[in-house]
Structures are given as C-alpha cells and as structure tokens.
C-alpha cells in the first residue's frame, strides 16, 4: 500500500534561519507531489507541485522554494524565514486527478 511521510511534525525556527521540510512517498512510482500551506483560520493554499523529478511549478511568489531530487521525495526550503512563513505545511500526492489525493500528517512551523 502507498504511504506518505512528512517530517518534522513541529518546528520552531527564528526569523532569518533556513528551512528544510521533507516529504516522501512509498509504494508508488512517479507520483504527482504537492506542498500546501494552511495559515491559522484560513484555507489551504497550494504552494508548489511537481509532476516529475526536477519539475517544479510554483503557484505563489514567496520566500519558499521546492525541489524534487528523487522520484518520491519532495523538499520545501527557505534560505531565510519570515514571520509570515508560520503555518501548517502539508504534503500530498496523487497518481492523477482522477484517483484522488492523499495528504501527509503535516508540519507545524512557528517562526519566532
């Protein structure tokens, strides 16, 4: 069966520090991968998606970047965190849009 792993679960980082969040998927090949952010009291915002290794599409200009170094690995990064980067970050995968999406357990990021 397919599983999605996301870590860390919680993270407290100072303003200006770097960020690296990792997401991996097991049990499938060539998944579509997604990073979402959920700010407090707000809806889910798509940040990045990837349909293959090295292929990254950005939905929103921001302080973040994403990379896909391996087929089932998706990384969200920042060189210098801002207070506004605080939020709940969710990774998701899909085979294609006809088969639904599966989400990870999320990372709670607090920038202080």
Binding mask 34-73 for other proteins (x = CB under 8 A): x--------xx-x--x---------x--------------
For position 98 contacting other proteins by CB under 8 A, the verdict is: yes
Report the DSSP beta bridge partners of residue 111: 13
Site residues, other proteins (CB under 8 A): 6, 34, 43-44, 46, 49, 59, 88, 90, 92, 94, 97-106, 108
């Amino acid at each position: 069966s397919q599983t999605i792993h996301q870590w860390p679960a919680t993270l407290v980082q100072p303003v200006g520090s770097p960020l690296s969040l990792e997401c991996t998927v097991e049990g499938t090949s060539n998944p579509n991968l997604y990073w979402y952010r959920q700010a407090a009291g707000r809806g889910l915002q798509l940040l990045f998606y990837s349909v293959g290794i090295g292929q990254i599409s950005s939905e929103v200009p921001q302080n973040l970047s994403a990379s896909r170094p391996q087929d089932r690995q998706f990384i969200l990064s920042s060189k210098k965190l801002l207070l506004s980067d605080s939020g709940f970050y969710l990774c998701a995968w899909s085979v294609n849009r006809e088969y639904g999406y599966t989400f990870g357990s999320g990372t709670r990021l607090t920038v202080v």
